[in-house]
Amino acid sequence: MRLTAGMVCILTMAGLTSPPLAGAETTTGTPPLTVHWLPETLCLIQRGGGYGRIIRLQDSRLLCAYSRGPQIRVRASQDEGRSWGPEATVTNYAHGVATNAEVVQLKDGTILVGINGRPKDRAHPFTIECARSADNGK
Nearest Cα to 138, choosing from 100, 101, 85? 85
End-to-end CA distance of the chain: 26
Q: Are strands 96-105 and 111-119 parallel, antiparallel or unpaired?
A: antiparallel
- Chain-centroid distance, C-alpha 39: 20
Q: What is the mean pLDDT of the chain?
A: 80
How many Å apart are CA 62 and CA 53, to the nearest integer?
Answer: 10
59-101 residue pLDDT tens: 999 999 999 889 999 999 999 998 999 999 999 888 999 999 9
Sequence-separated (6 or more) residues with CB below 8 Å from residue 38: 8
pLDDT grade for 16, boundaries at 50, 70 and 90: very low
Strand partners, 98: 117
Nearest Cα to 132, choosing from 62, 74, 61? 74
- The model's pTM is 0.70
